[in-house]
């Protein structure tokens, strides 16, 4: 068996060639490393006829920091297995894994070169009518079919154990729920919003609600989450979208995946006035609000329909319980969306939506909108029973 070593482009090329028939016998192959993510190496291996595949390899440390932040390469197994599971439940919106090699922590997968990264497109002001409906399907299918509504107790517990992901979960536990609420050395805070960040460190009312969301993240294994559904994990084109990058996957609260995506749409929303001229900003914001509404409505409709028709456990077939369950998922989703808005503003990992605003004053205004909206969503999540009330809140808080 080949021992783990960090791939060069030539290693990635041989790995892809060995494990795929796609290139044929006499292909001239080339490979290039082009990853710009926080954690891994990503290679594109292509032949001279334009066929290409992706090789993704987990490094034994976080790429964005270096060897001083060691990380288990088991995250590659988690990623491959989550994508394989989600691919069974929703193949049309999950990147296809062709091969996984545990010893090398390397995954061979389809190349989505006909797609673009959603975040980059939103930052350019592009819109996609199918985004919310397709992502609602992805979330409803992957989360329902890995939940207690379908799996028996023993099967579910075995799955929870297989997807224990302590190191990557710890990153989320720290970056989402702890660092933004204290003066942590990992935080990056632009000078103009430092006074507002300091208020977050004193805001005990908010911290109590964030503690409750963190406790649920730690102890509510409802479904096999992707664990990192931000707009950099979604590839999109005019017809379709596909989700990549599932290394943060684990059994957690359903609202975490739904809320991560809602939070990312709202991050772009608060950034619009800093990114675009007023008329375009207004149009893009109207598009984003419509997508937020549709994402929740379609997710709720599909998840309800699945609960009503596919639930195996007779106790969980109770329709009042199912309605209550979905209401709680909405509250959780809004809370986690709020945490995403805040941590992308004052935490370690920022987003291009805000960072691409060149005028420092406008960027600070957008960051402050993100913090206020995040706080409002977290604090009011239990009272926001309808999406209309959420959209009204978004508009009121971000003027
Ligand atoms: C050190 S990892 C920072 C962030 O990148 C990932 O995509 C996750 O969102 C994580 O929080
Ligand atoms: Mg990622």
Question: Residue 348 is encoded by which pair of tokens?
Answer: 């370690």
SS3 22: coil
How big is the chain by its Cα radius of gyration, in Å?
A: 21
Does the beta carbon of 62 sit less than 6 angstroms from any atom of ligand 1? Answer: yes
Domain that holds residue 81: 9-110
Instruction: Check whether residue 124 and residue 103 sit in a common domain.
Output: no
Rounded distance, CA 238 to CA 128, Å? 7
Instruction: Check whether residue 251 and residue 268 sit in a common domain.
Output: yes
Domain harbouring 249, CATH code: 3.90.1200.10
Whats the size of the chain, residue-wise?
A: 399
Evaluate whether residue 271 is within a structural domain: yes
pLDDT at 36: 82
Evaluate whether residue 3 is within a structural domain: no
Q: H helices of 20-125, where?
A: 75-89, 118-123
Is 70 exceeded by the pLDDT of residue 37?
A: yes
Instruction: Check whether residue 88 and residue 170 sit in a common domain.
Output: no
Evaluate whether residue 143 is within a structural domain: yes
> Of ligand 1's atoms, which has the minimum distance to the CA of residue 62?
1
pLDDT tens-digit map of 183-203: 999 999 999 999 999 999 999
Instruction: Check whether residue 85 and residue 144 sit in a common domain.
Output: no
Please tell me the total count of domains within the chain: 2
Instruction: Check whether residue 321 and residue 301 sit in a common domain.
Output: yes
Domain harbouring 88, CATH code: 3.30.200.20
Instruction: Check whether residue 106 and residue 81 sit in a common domain.
Output: yes
Domain finish residue from 110, 132, 166? 110
How far apart are the CA of 261 and the centre of ligand 2, in A?
13
pLDDT tens-digit map of 99-127: 999 999 999 999 999 999 999 999 999 99
Evaluate whether residue 317 is within a structural domain: yes
Does the beta carbon of 175 sit less than 6 angstroms from any atom of ligand 1? Answer: yes
Evaluate whether residue 2 is within a structural domain: no
Q: Which value does ipTM take for this structure?
A: 0.98
pTM: 0.97
Question: Residue 256 is encoded by which pair of tokens?
Answer: 């975490």
pLDDT at 1: 65
The residue contributing the CA closest to ligand 1 atom 1 is 38
Domain finish residue from 83, 110, 137? 110
Domain finish residue from 91, 110, 129? 110
Instruction: Check whether residue 80 and residue 122 sit in a common domain.
Output: no
Instruction: Check whether residue 57 and residue 152 sit in a common domain.
Output: no
Q: Could you give the percent of the chain with pLDDT greater than 90?
A: 93
């Amino acid at each position: 068996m080949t021992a783990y070593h960090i791939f060069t482009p030539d290693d990635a090329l041989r790995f892809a060639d060995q494990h795929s028939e796609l290139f044929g016998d006499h292909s001239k192959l080339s490979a290039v490393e082009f990853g710009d993510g926080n954690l891994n190496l990503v290679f594109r291996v292509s032949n001279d006829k334009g066929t290409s595949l992706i090789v993704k390899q987990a490094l034994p440390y976080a790429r964005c920091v270096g060897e001083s932040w060691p990380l288990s390469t088991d995250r590659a197994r988690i990623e491959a297995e989550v994508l394989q599971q989600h691919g069974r439940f929703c193949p049309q919106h999950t990147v296809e894994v062709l091969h996984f090699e545990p010893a090398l922590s390397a995954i061979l997968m389809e190349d989505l070169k006909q797609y673009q990264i959603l975040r980059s497109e939103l930052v350019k002001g592009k819109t996609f009518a199918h985004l919310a409906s397709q992502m609602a399907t992805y979330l409803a299918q992957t989360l329902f079919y890995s939940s207690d509504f379908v799996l028996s107790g023993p099967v579910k517990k075995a799955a929870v154990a297989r997807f224990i992901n302590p190191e990557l979960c710890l990153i989320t536990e720290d970056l989402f729920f702890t660092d933004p609420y204290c003066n942590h050395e990992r935080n990056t805070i632009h000078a103009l919003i430092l006074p507002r960040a300091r208020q977050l460190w004193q805001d005990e009312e908010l911290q109590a609600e964030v503690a409750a969301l963190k406790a649920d993240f730690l102890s509510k294994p409802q479904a096999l989450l992707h664990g990192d559904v931000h707009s950099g994990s979604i590839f999109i084109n005019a017809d379709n979208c596909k989700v990549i990058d599932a290394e943060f996957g684990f059994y957690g609260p359903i609202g975490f995946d739904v809320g991560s995506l809602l939070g990312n749409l709202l991050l772009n929303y608060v950034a619009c006035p800093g990114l675009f001229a007023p008329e375009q900003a207004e149009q893009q914001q109207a598009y984003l609000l419509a997508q937020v509404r549709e994402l929740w409505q379609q997710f709720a409709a599909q998840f309800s329909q699945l609960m009503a028709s596919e639930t195996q456990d007779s106790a969980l077939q109770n329709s009042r319980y199912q309605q209550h369950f979905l209401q709680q998922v909405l509250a959780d989703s809004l809370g986690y969306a709020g945490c995403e808005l805040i941590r992308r503003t004052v935490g370690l990992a920022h987003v291009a939506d805000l960072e691409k605003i060149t005028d420092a004053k406008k960027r600070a205004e957008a960051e402050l909108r993100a913090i206020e909206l995040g706080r409002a969503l977290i604090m009011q999540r239990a009272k926001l029973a309808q999406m209309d009330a959420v959209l009204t809140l978004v508009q009121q808080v971000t003027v």
